[in-house]
Amino acid sequence: MAPRLVFSSWWTKDTEKGTPVVVKMENPTFSVVEINGADAAFRPVEKSRGKNAKQVTWVLFLKAHRAVGCVTWLATVLWALLGAIRNRLIHRNVVVGVVENERDKFEKGRLLFTIIRVFLMISLVVLAFEVVTYLQGWHFTNPTLHIPRTSDLEGLLHMAYVAWLTFRAEYIAPLIQALSKFCVVLFLIQSVDRMLLCLGCFWIKFKKVKPRFHGDPFKTDDVEGSAWNYPMVLVQIPMCNEREVYEQSISAVCQIDWPRNRLLIQVLDDSDDESIRWLIKSEVCKWNQKGVNIIYRHRLLRTGYKAGNLNSAMSCDYVKDYEFVAIFDADFQPNPDFLKQTVPHFKDNPELGLVQARWTFVNKDENLLTRLQNINLCFHFEVEQQVNGVFLNFFGFNGTAGVWRIKALEESGGWLERTTVEDMDIAVRAHLNGWKFIFLNDVKVLCEVPESYEAYRKQQHRWHSGPMQLFRLCLPAIIKSKVPAWKKANLILLFFLLRKLILPFYSFTLFCIILPLTMFVPEAELPLWVICYVPVFMSFLNILPAPKSFPFIVPYLLFENTMSVTKFNAMVSGLFQLGSSYEWVVTKKAGRSSESDLLAAEEREAKSIIEQQKIHRGASDSELLESNQIKEQKVAVSAPIKKANKIYKKELTLAFILLTASVRSLLSAQGVHFYFLLFQGVTFLLVGLDLIGEQMS
């Protein structure tokens, strides 16, 4: 419960009195005593008895030391927070001239921010008004219980307060109650869906259900012709200005265990930085000299982002010779046996169009932000993708770490540039055409998660605006398709509405808007199970696939509510086709490598020194000059680039709204609501000041 102002109940308890007792013995050797009350010998001894002045002084000194230590700790935390705010403001003002282009982007979508700011101002005025009434001894609760008679009113302020209570109870509270009930119903529906997914995952684990292929599809007695049992596979690595990760991704793909005459690797570079293009070309040439069938492609007209890049690569004439295509984003590092674990599932299964592997993260323990992302993505893959793959043979393609049957891509219309979620677009169209999908939870591909909040925020905006944009475009095709009605219902109600639209809507509305409002309108109070019990239980289910993350269950719950602002804004942007829904920002990578990758890199570096010596002996002057330029570029870009920490106005505004509501809850002793609003407000404050994730200097 919230702190209360009444402490008399601690010391006003009645003391138990003794009862008369008579003890008799046959041959007593001592006298019998009758006890009618508490004897003086059994009465509690005063704590001060037996202590001299020196001992009392030491006790008081220890208590004072504890009090001073507590105050010092609070002052230190407050000073550190103020220092962080000052550093953010000063550093942002220093570099504001460098980021003039980004200022225009933040000017867009100011309507929501204006509404939140107006609400904050009204909340502060109401809070100040009610603090005055609290000091006057008036009440905050239902006006029908505490409104005095008009004849007893003293002063205009008291009359205005009673009028406000009446207006609040008759007009404002019913609207908030109706909206809160609607959001609670959506919350419960989404919670039931989440529980059913978890039950499906438990059933899969209990029955040990997973996709399998029978025998060894590559086993043959003909040694000379064994390579022809391997189908032709095309591997594509789309990238754009991927300076940090291009080398390790190309290296990992080039080491895939597959016959070289049955494999072609396309490096699809959309970089607009000439120095990065030179570096990628050099890496491709290095592996080409080692006998790897790899080519470098760069588009002159860079339209359509990733979808345009993939569509351009699939239009090459030699693609018709290949049966399957594997796609890896620039930060993905597949194991050498990736194709041998995925491609065999297509054998004797002509209706299979996609085999999707699971992501694992090399930097999941880098900071608090990466740990929280790991919780979300582990649930997404192990529960959502696996359950949908087993029971429905359909799920959203993750855009990477998957193998497509090229025939399925062509019959479904290929890669389209109409949305920023081209992977989900092609998956929905392939599903409507009757193709089946398989998710392999045991096949894992290393990749990265964003380490800075700025990169994560932009990624989530694209991931939540794109599906709503796609929903508008695909809805007529879904309704007119010839698939069964239950598949249409699954796509419309579950895949799009419930998991892409309803989730960010109720999360933002219920916990960031309605809950603070109920502190100023207590007639519309939310029940405790909505605020505490159900969210904690849902967070517990979300964290089950990542059991090592249980200590972060409370930060995870608070952070997900904080991210609802970004997700809700993105959802509205995609649903109503606003300008920000078409923005595509490449997620910033750090170029993290696993321990095995670092050891392999040392071995490759030692071998490369010997190879470079051999190459330099027979190389011309122009080739030597070109190689030296590439080395200088690598050295020049190896130094870290300083960036300015950003301040996120929407998150800061909501932080002050929630903290204001927590003060209001403290005055009215609202119990767990006070603690939830306090910690949620602090979380918004930390995120708004960019104090979570990678710290930039």
What positions carry a catalytic annotation?
270, 423
For residue 20, give Cα distances in angstroms to 23, 24, 186.
Answer: 10, 13, 64
Contacts of 689 (CB under 8 A, 6+ apart): 84, 85, 88, 645, 647, 652
For residue 423, give Cα distances in angstroms to 59, 111, 430, 472.
Answer: 69, 31, 11, 16
Both tokens assigned to 588: 């910033």
Give CA–CA dist 415/552, Å, rounded. 39
DSSP 21: B
Cα within 13 Å of Cα(564), Cβ side: 23
What's the length of the chain? 697
DSSP-assigned states of every residue in 130-179:
HHHHHHTT---S-HHHHPPPGGG--SHHHHHHHHHHHHIIIIIHHHHHHH
Contacts of 348 (CB under 8 A, 6+ apart): none
Give CA–CA dist 309/271, Å, rounded. 11
Neighbours of 474 (CB within 10 A): 22
Q: Report phi then psi at 237, rounded to 5.
A: -125, 90
Instruction: Tell me which residue of 285, 295, 244, 298 sits closest to 626, measured CA to CA.
Output: 285
Cα within 13 Å of Cα(519), Cβ side: 34
Phi-psi region of 249 (alpha: psi -120 to 50; beta: other; left: phi over 0): alpha
Both tokens assigned to 266: 């396309």
Which amino acid is located at 452 in the chain? S
